[in-house]
């Protein structure tokens, strides 16, 4: 969309009149220096309009002069033709300089536009890459949640099996090995959960940083920027939900660890009780053997 001029014809005309009144030739560069703002193309367009009004005013004066007086003046005008030609030559040189200035400014604006388009393309590409990364992150979060659910089911089955095995005192080694396996499984799940949370935090930070830079760079594309910002908000919601699910999974793992610890304490207590019973049986057996040994010796 074309940009609105920052200066008006009245401003340019007033500056040209002021320069002319000071005996200075009104050029686009001189008017730009006087106003301190405006593009050279706009100033040149308004300056040409002002110059047209100066010619029309001169013609109006000639039309109002009496023909005899006009003829008398024509001799003086002829004498000034050479001076007018010199003025035209100077004017032509001024126009050439202004044209060169306009060409240089247009080339600079074209380079700036090309750079801006390249930056915008890079930002759009970066946003597309970020969207793919967030989509992959969402898929990983869902897969992690499914794995955690499977691990919880496996842990529940293992606890049931552990309760059965603890009843058998003679299989204490097997129970201990199973406990070690469960502890290792819990540690692995906790490490996996920590790594998932770290990756979520990294991608969330990157998403926020890229979104901010994109918003600063393409402020002229406000509607597209709003759509991208909404998309980023939606992705952040997904990340927040995944973080929440991960926290719930960690709480479930903590509860599982506590249940396993309680089961181990219960097994230790039962082992003590079994050892006590075995001690009582051994004491009774020794008494029986003590009673039998005297008879054998007789």
pLDDT along the chain (298 residues), means of 10: 77 96 94 93 95 68 61 62 54 66 66 71 80 84 83 80 73 76 85 83 82 74 75 82 84 86 89 89 86 60
Both tokens assigned to 84:
């007018």
* Structural domain boundaries enclosing 185: 117-261
Question: 105 lies in a domain?
Answer: yes
Question: 111 lies in a domain?
Answer: yes
The pLDDT value given to residue 34: 94
Question: 64 lies in a domain?
Answer: no
Give the C-alpha separation, 175 to 167, whole Å: 10
My answer on whether 96 and 197 are in the same domain is no
The CATH number given to whatever domain includes residue 172 is 1.10.132
My answer on whether 128 and 223 are in the same domain is yes
Give the C-alpha separation, 169 to 269, whole Å: 12
The pLDDT value given to residue 32: 95
Closest CA relative to residue 158, chosen from 79, 62, 260: 260
Closest CA relative to residue 183, chosen from 207, 162, 164, 200: 162
Q: Given the structure tokens 């406000």, which residue do they identify? A: 222
Question: 20 lies in a domain?
Answer: yes
My answer on whether 257 and 157 are in the same domain is yes
The pLDDT value given to residue 298: 45
Q: Which of left, alpha, beta for 65 (phi over 0: left; psi -120 to 50: alpha)?
A: beta
Both tokens assigned to 138:
């969402």
The pLDDT value given to residue 85: 45
Distance of CA 20 to the CA centre of its chain: 54
Q: Which of left, alpha, beta for 38 (phi over 0: left; psi -120 to 50: alpha)?
A: left
Give the C-alpha separation, 18 to 92, whole Å: 22
My answer on whether 129 and 257 are in the same domain is yes
The pLDDT value given to residue 175: 56
């Amino acid at each position: 969309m074309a940009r609105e001029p920052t200066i008006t014809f009245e401003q340019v005309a007033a500056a040209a009149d002021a320069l002319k009144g000071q005996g200075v030739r009104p050029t686009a560069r001189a008017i730009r220096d006087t106003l301190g703002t405006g593009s050279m193309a706009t100033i040149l367009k308004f300056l040409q309009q002002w110059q047209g009004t100066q010619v029309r005013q001169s013609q109006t004066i000639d039309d109002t002069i009496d023909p005899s007086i006009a003829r008398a003046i024509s001799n003086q005008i002829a004498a000034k033709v050479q001076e007018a030609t010199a003025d035209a030559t100077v004017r032509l040189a001024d126009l050439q300089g202004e044209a060169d200035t306009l060409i240089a400014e247009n080339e600079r604006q074209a380079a700036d536009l090309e750079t801006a388009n390249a930056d915008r393309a890079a930002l759009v590409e970066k946003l597309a890459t970020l969207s793919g990364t967030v989509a992959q992150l969402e898929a990983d979060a869902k897969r992690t949640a499914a794995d955690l659910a499977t691990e919880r089911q496996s842990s529940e089955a293992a606890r049931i099996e552990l309760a059965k095995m603890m009843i058998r005192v003679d299989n204490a080694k097997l129970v201990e090995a199973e406990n070690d396996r469960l502890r290792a499984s819990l540690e692995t799940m906790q490490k996996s959960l920590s790594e998932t949370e770290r990756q979520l935090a990294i991608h969330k930070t990157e998403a926020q940083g890229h979104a901010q830079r994109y918003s600063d760079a393409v402020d002229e594309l406000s509607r597209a920027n709003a759509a991208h910002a909404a998309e980023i908000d939606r992705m952040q919601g997904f990340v927040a939900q995944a973080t929440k699910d991960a926290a719930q999974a960690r709480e479930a793992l903590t509860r599982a660890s506590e249940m396993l610890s309680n089961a181990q304490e219960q097994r230790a207590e039962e082992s003590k009780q079994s050892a006590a019973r075995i001690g009582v049986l051994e004491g009774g057996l020794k008494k029986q053997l003590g009673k039998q040994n005297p008879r054998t010796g007789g």
